[in-house]
Structure 1
Amino acid sequence: MDYFKQIFLFLISIFVGFASYSQTEISGQIFDDQNEKLSGATVIISKDSVSSILAYGISDTDGKFKIGVKTDSEFLFLKVSYIGFGTFKQTVQNKAQTLQVKLLPSSESLKEVIVKSEILQQRGDTLSFSVAAFKDKNDRVIADILKKLPGINIRPNGQIYYKDEPIQKYYIEGLDLLEGRYNMANNNLSADAVSRVEILENHQPVKVLDSLEFSERASINIKLKKDVTVSGTATVGMGAAPLLWQTKVTPMIFTKKRQAIVTYQSNNTGNDVSGEIRNFSINFFENDFDIDKEDWLSIKNVLKPPFSSERWLDNNVHLGSANILQRLKDDLDLKLNISYLNDYQQQDGSTQTRYFTPTDTIDVIENTNNDIFVSKLEGQLTFEKNADKNYLKDQLEFKGSWNANRGFIDRPDGQIKQQLDNPFFGIKNDLRLLRTVGKQLITFNSNIGFTETNQDLLVQPGQFEAIFNDGDSYGEIQQQVSSRKIYTDNSAGFTKKFGQFTISQNLDFRSRINN
């Protein structure tokens, strides 16, 4: 009975733990001193008067608000503000409740006028957060600020989510410089250079489609303090016994018509810099082919430990990247994004496998030593016009890699050598054209690409003798995979609107050749 009692108490404790983090709903209505309903008042909830914001809301046309907040705090700090009225502040219990808030006109006599930006502003579907309101002395780059904004979550790989959905665009002053590789800006743009962060809810990136296709995703726009901003980061460090180094130089410049982020990074301290050029782009069009590399063959890898790579990764990495945008004229941009990654990694691991047979117990111990060589070049050249009545985007993309892996397995019954050559090349051109003629939308898409890989794996001595060599040992076994793909996807169509209805017609021609 004591055993079941302990289980029961354990389950109760889990339930209580989950309940303590359940969402609390705070609702209410806001009035002025004449009992008139106030629309557009800002409501902010935090743990106390100095903590970061947990949740926020804006009162509607009836002065009502409803905010959900998740926290284990026993009390919540509520702050309501409205231009021309004194700020309402109150500590309430962390439980579902409905409040009535009355704001009084501000009657302070000011000897001097100090203009301060509001913490939160809302204009339509755009939420604008003041960086100064969230920044403290430990915040260096804009990613430190984004992590504090309500609704924003940054995953371990750097991808930004808003309300549990990945953002679709990351703009800096309204320009999409990085084409989805926003870690480069997020991890290096100084927080001191940014005035506000705008969250564009229900954002449609293609202006032509703004009234035709509704978007549920959000985008982020970074607003800078100055018309000409020079920013970035620079870190140089070196240690001894063993010799360690870390270098990171990332200058940036932003003007009204030109943006550039250039970086050189190198280290052997276990910092995986490849995440800086990871692409989080979301495809807005159907039937888009990619030229991502596919690994058909591999050597036996070492399992990765379940903790930070900086504690176990033995690397020697160099990364160079240049991202340049030039605005040629209104709504017309030319962009170049290019990067080169070179990395050498050493992997050491040991595994012990125990087999139980009817007559014996067998232990197999393997020590694995791998050398991983990565050499990768990627680039995009983009010509884009995004106007109200026509959209044109022509993007030439290429990827090349010259990777090689070497492996050595030491077993009690012998030693196994592995050698893998894994080159790849891919190139594609993606053309998108949308144009309105009256109430009719004309579209044309063309996607043409080519990929090639020749992978070669050599293992010495030969394995699986019973399958490949009648049970006799032999010197080596080799696997080769050669893959070549040519594809083209072309379509033309039009969409016509009749009142609340739209009729779309499309003509497609597709071809793919795989060898």
Structure 2
Amino acid sequence: MRPRCCLLSLLLLLCSLSLLAQEYKLAGRVTGAEGEAVVGARVTLSHEGQILAFAFTRKGGNFTLTSDRCYPRMTLSISHLSYETDSISLTPDRHEVTLRLSPRVSQLQEVTVEAYPIIERSDTLTYLLRSFTEAGDYTLEDAIKRLPGVEVDPKGQISYLGKAISHFYIEGMDLLGGQYHKATRNLDATKVASVDVMRHHQDRKIDKDVPTNDVALNVRLEKDAKSRPIWSGSGAIGYGGRVRYDASLSSMLFAHSMQYMALLSGGNQTERARDDALDLIVRGDPPSALAERVIGEAAASTPPIDRELYLSPLDLSVSGSVLRVLTDDRQLRVQARYGRSSTGYGYAIERHFADGTVISEESNPTALVHLPGVEIEYRDNQEGYFLSNCFVLGGKISDDQLPTMLGGGGSHFVQKQSRGLSLLDEIAYSRRLGARNHRVEGRVSLVTIPDQWLGIGSADEVSLRQYAQGGSIGANATYTLSETRGAHRLSGTLGLTSSGDYVETYQEREGAERTALNDLDVSTTSLGLSTGYTYTRPRGLRCVLNATLALSGNYLSLRNSGDRPIKLSRPLFTINPSLSADFALSPFSEVSLGANYSSGYGGAASFLSAPIRTGLTQTTTGSGTLSESSMISVTGDYRFSQPMRMWFVRLSGGYTRIRSNTLATQTIEEDMIGTGALETDNTSHLYNGDLTVTKRFHAYKTALRLYTGVSRADYRVMQNEVLLPYSSTTMYVTPELSTTPIRGLELSYAYNLSRTMMSFGGSSAQPVISYGHRAAVSVPLLWGVVWRTNCRVTTYTAFEGPDRTFPQLSTALSYRQKSFSVDLRVLNLLNHQSYRYLTFDTVNRYAYRYDLRPRTILLSLQLSL
């Protein structure tokens, strides 16, 4: 009996799987009670709340539906404003239906039509923006932050279920590339009708059958915002220690054959120039040179608070972007920008080292940077042919000054000056011949750092200058042949890379000869071969299996002709296999699994054998040893999304093991911190897990979010010739609630708890615990005026003494009429003078204190035409 039951169960399972793999087609007609055709009725095919397909009835009341999935039981719903909604149950063997709707009995005096807030079709989610926005949402970024499953970080980067988007389109056109935050922060939310989230997006038509996990965003405009210029401007004036002002002006056009956007902004309230130069979509490694990384940033710390609270800028940003459609498949995009940012702030830091040494300093850094750039891209994107060429030219001119007071006494003045230029040209060509796809890609990059130095002394005299100048050049060419046969795809890639890097560093004192000379010249030639196999389930639930094997032969040649000469020439071989699987457990859930092994060798910085001064209290010395490492990484990602019920869940985790032949070292002597590396076997372990849950109750205008996770790292470090194995564990949990119980009244609350524990050398350090409350309220007053208040209270445990609590309070009165708004804001209402926070750096503990700007009152205006 048991074998028969097992056989019967197996047959039922195979039957169910075959149903899922089938394409389902349905045709029908919708009529009224008297047999009249019903035109414009919405016909929706669904299964357990998930929309499989939808359509609107045409002339004669006819409709057709096609779904790439089929289930034993499905529901067909028909809705129309003048008729009662009706639904029937369908089975896969039924392909034609005729439905008769009953007219609505009551006579409606006033009708409010509310569309579905989210429409799901295949791999695309369409959010109807007006269903999610509130009265205070002025820009597109404000509105996108409210979409369930979508997140926007402080830099403006957009993610869906934790994955950053790979493309940002406006009406199907990629005008801004990775600088899409210029659109989200300047485009009026009322000009946007909907936002599409396209999962498993492939931007090249020739590769439409190649599976990806990329996510793209497409913005669809309202009819009155298309094919006509959109102008928007804003201005602010106020006082906070001094007169504060800001102004911006933008013009944009989104037509069928051309799009453009021009931006101009400036002021001393908000820093925009650095943000406008950010590229939020990184494709490949940007060109770089060792010389620009040797000294690093003069002041690189960033507190976990809004920059407006502590940073005093003087800012100017100008940019323009034009996209011209040459034919249906060809387009030309040009972007140009210039930014000038001058910033200043004050902070203090106490560094507590494992041996009990404490080095403290106070500084008031000012930084001036110029950021010019040009990008030109041509694309010919056809079904069987692809050609693109992208040229990027960028520059950076910076001058930093850091008047600093050390805790041990003494006033110092640190200066840093840098001049740099980078050039990148990338070309890609693909052609499909039958089942085979031929792809050729090339890349040329050039970076030059002709002038860079760090000066230490007083405001009147520089006693020591650390110079670092040089550049790099690189060229890469690859050829890829792939062939697709049904569900199977094989590919092979042959690549040749040649690169060179040159850096010269030395120290110069007044009246003395140059010392600590490094004159390093590095050249690398690599020949790589990789093969890949991909299986894609042709029908039914998504299933993609991928395996790759990459082999590389490299020849490294370097020479340091400085004070401590080094010469090395040797071949190096690397092997990098990887496995990945992406499959759907159900129509609502997907799993991604990955495992890879990689081997490689470190950069040339370890051969800078003469010491380099990187700051007032920091110096670094290369080990003179070629760093070789191997890494094993295992990752898992579970995603659940039921958009029609507005449920979104993401669970991810990973483990990484790194083996290398070098160990980081620190030497602490009085007010000097020396870093380097020691040749010895070293193994590190990293673990992480994160959970994000989002649920929106749309009928109640309420959203719940939960962010929680844990990470652990096991490392070793040597400090003052003492080996210190250490472990760091961080846990966090952040629940959030936002609700609009009545029209205009908006409430939100978030709680954050973070705990970092550190143990080293057989002992445990006092954990760093922070817990905070963030609340906001928006209350409608008279004549369309809205009062908004934001409060944030953060408490940190201290290394010594009692806990410290830092409240922040801001409030505003706002008035908005269509595309015009007026705001009266008060920042730092409680007029707190400083903000403190704590952090770990390997086995060391750092305590920061940032000076806050005084209470600031701002009157701002925004207008969009």
Q: Same fold (TM over 0.5)?
A: yes
CA shift in 2, pair 1:210/1:267, >3 Å? same
For residue 350 of structure 1, give the secondary structure of its aligned residue in structure 2. strand
Q: Does the CA contact (< 8 Å) of 1:120 and 1:128 recur in 2?
A: yes
Partner residue in 2 for 1:231: 230
In the superposition, the TM-score normalised over structure 1's length comes to: 0.73
Whichever residue aligns with residue 227 of structure 2, its letter is V
Whichever residue aligns with residue 238 of structure 1, its letter is I
- String of CA shifts for 1:433-460, please: whole Å, max 9, x gaps: 1111121111110101100113211212
CA drift at 1:275:
2.3
Q: Does the CA contact (< 8 Å) of 1:273 and 1:319 recur in 2?
A: yes
Counterparts of 1:385 and 1:439 in 2: how far apart (Å)?
Answer: 21
1:128-143 equivalence runs, <5 A: 128-143=126-141
Partner residue in 2 for 1:55: none
Whichever residue aligns with residue 480 of structure 2, its letter is G
For residue 177 of structure 1, give the secondary structure of its aligned residue in structure 2. coil
Partner residue in 2 for 1:188: 186
CA drift at 1:276:
3.6
Tell me if 1:222 matches 2:209: no
Partner residue in 1 for 2:333: 335
CA shift in 2, pair 1:163/1:87, >3 Å? farther
Partner residue in 2 for 1:144: 142
Counterparts of 1:352 and 1:257 in 2: how far apart (Å)?
Answer: 57
CA drift at 1:137:
2.2
1:184-263 equivalence runs, <5 A: 184-211=182-209, 213-226=210-223, 227-240=226-239, 242-263=242-263
CA drift at 1:427:
0.2
Match of 1:389 among 384, 395, 398: 384
Tell me if 1:503 matches 2:490: yes
Q: Does the CA contact (< 8 Å) of 1:40 and 1:82 recur in 2?
A: no
Counterparts of 2:72 and 2:135 in 1: how far apart (Å)?
Answer: 39
Q: Does the CA contact (< 8 Å) of 1:39 and 1:60 recur in 2?
A: no
For residue 46 of structure 2, give the secondary structure of its aligned residue in structure 1. coil
Q: Does the CA contact (< 8 Å) of 2:140 and 2:188 recur in 1?
A: yes
CA drift at 1:291:
2.0
Whichever residue aligns with residue 290 of structure 1, its letter is P
Partner residue in 2 for 1:307: 305
Partner residue in 1 for 2:446: 450
Comparing 105-114 with 171-180, greater Cα deviation is found at: 105-114
Q: Percent identity?
A: 19
Whichever residue aligns with residue 119 of structure 1, its letter is P
For residue 290 of structure 1, give the secondary structure of its aligned residue in structure 2. coil
Counterparts of 1:354 and 1:513 in 2: how far apart (Å)?
Answer: 40
Tell me if 1:485 matches 2:482: no
Counterparts of 1:253 and 1:484 in 2: how far apart (Å)?
Answer: 40
For residue 40 of structure 1, give the secondary structure of its aligned residue in structure 2. strand
Partner residue in 1 for 2:164: 166
Counterparts of 1:433 and 1:262 in 2: how far apart (Å)?
Answer: 31
Comparing 362-371 with 142-151, greater Cα deviation is found at: 362-371
Partner residue in 1 for 2:275: 275
Structure 2 unaligned residues grouped into runs of 5+: 1-42, 51-68, 87-99, 503-865
RMSD, matched Cα: 3.4
Match of 2:346 among 340, 345, 348: 348
CA drift at 1:234:
0.8
Q: Does the CA contact (< 8 Å) of 1:247 and 1:265 recur in 2?
A: yes
For residue 39 of structure 1, give the secondary structure of its aligned residue in structure 2. strand
Whichever residue aligns with residue 233 of structure 1, its letter is S
Match of 1:297 among 287, 295, 298: 295
Counterparts of 1:115 and 1:355 in 2: how far apart (Å)?
Answer: 65
Whichever residue aligns with residue 414 of structure 2, its letter is Q
Whichever residue aligns with residue 257 of structure 2, its letter is K
Counterparts of 2:211 and 2:388 in 1: how far apart (Å)?
Answer: 20
Partner residue in 2 for 1:512: 499
Partner residue in 2 for 1:40: 46
Q: Does the CA contact (< 8 Å) of 2:273 and 2:340 recur in 1?
A: no
Tell me if 1:379 matches 2:370: no
Counterparts of 2:389 and 2:215 in 1: how far apart (Å)?
Answer: 24
Q: Does the CA contact (< 8 Å) of 1:324 and 1:337 recur in 2?
A: yes
- String of CA shifts for 1:45-89, please: whole Å, max 9, x gaps: xxxxxxxxxxxxxx9745579xxxxxxxxxxxxxx975358579x
Whichever residue aligns with residue 218 of structure 2, its letter is N
For residue 329 of structure 1, give the secondary structure of its aligned residue in structure 2. coil
Structure 1 unaligned residues grouped into runs of 5+: 1-36, 45-58, 66-79, 89-103, 462-473
- String of CA shifts for 1:86-140, please: whole Å, max 9, x gaps: 579xxxxxxxxxxxxxxx9664157799976543323322222222222332222
For residue 83 of structure 1, give the secondary structure of its aligned residue in structure 2. strand
CA drift at 1:231:
2.5
Counterparts of 1:64 and 1:164 in 2: how far apart (Å)?
Answer: 31
Tell me if 1:416 matches 2:415: no
- String of CA shifts for 1:302-358, please: whole Å, max 9, x gaps: 85433111010011111111111010111111001121110111232334678999x
Counterparts of 1:395 and 1:302 in 2: how far apart (Å)?
Answer: 31
Partner residue in 1 for 2:583: none
CA shift in 2, pair 1:111/1:242, >3 Å? closer
Tell me if 1:459 matches 2:456: yes
For residue 185 of structure 1, give the secondary structure of its aligned residue in structure 2. helix
For residue 432 of structure 2, give the secondary structure of its aligned residue in structure 1. strand
Match of 1:402 among 397, 402, 421: 397
In the superposition, the TM-score normalised over structure 2's length comes to: 0.45
Partner residue in 2 for 1:153: 151
CA drift at 1:289:
4.1
Counterparts of 1:289 and 1:299 in 2: how far apart (Å)?
Answer: 20
For residue 140 of structure 1, give the secondary structure of its aligned residue in structure 2. coil
- String of CA shifts for 1:176-212, please: whole Å, max 9, x gaps: 111121111111111221122111121111111111x
For residue 166 of structure 2, give the secondary structure of its aligned residue in structure 1. coil
Counterparts of 1:489 and 1:352 in 2: how far apart (Å)?
Answer: 45
Equivalenced residue count is 418
Q: Does the CA contact (< 8 Å) of 1:228 and 1:256 recur in 2?
A: yes
- String of CA shifts for 1:381-409, please: whole Å, max 9, x gaps: 00011111111110000110110111222
Match of 2:436 among 440, 451, 463: 440
Whichever residue aligns with residue 212 of structure 2, its letter is S
Counterparts of 1:106 and 1:312 in 2: how far apart (Å)?
Answer: 64
